Amino acid sequence: MQELLVALAQGLVEDPDQVTVTVDEPDEEGVVVYHLHVAEGDMGRVIGKQGRIAKAIRTIMRAAASRKDQKVAVEID
């Protein structure tokens, strides 16, 4: 799952070397939170107009997680 998020983000940004992902342990509901970190100048590219790209990234991650019977959340830091 982490590799999928990194691949998605690196395809969007100008500086793919700055893309990092940290993963939190599952909470009491079993949700794993992925924190996406990108360069300051690439933040707009990852969020998109009115948050459309960020929403699409979250949708893709949730769909991939549901195939593995997991619950995930993505936060863009």
Mean pLDDT rounded to a whole number for the chain = 94
* Architecture of domain 2-76 in this structure: 2-Layer Sandwich (3.30)
All structural domains of the chain with their residue ranges: 2-76
Exposed/middle/buried for 74, CB within 10 Å: 0-12, 13-18, 19+?
buried
**Tokens 């997680």 sit on residue:** 65
CA–CA separation, 33 and 71 (whole Å): 9
- Residue 40: pLDDT band (50, 70, 90) is very high
Helix or strand holding residue 2 (H, E): helix 2-12
What pLDDT is attached to residue 59?
A: 96
* Distance linking the first and last C-alpha atoms of the chain: 18
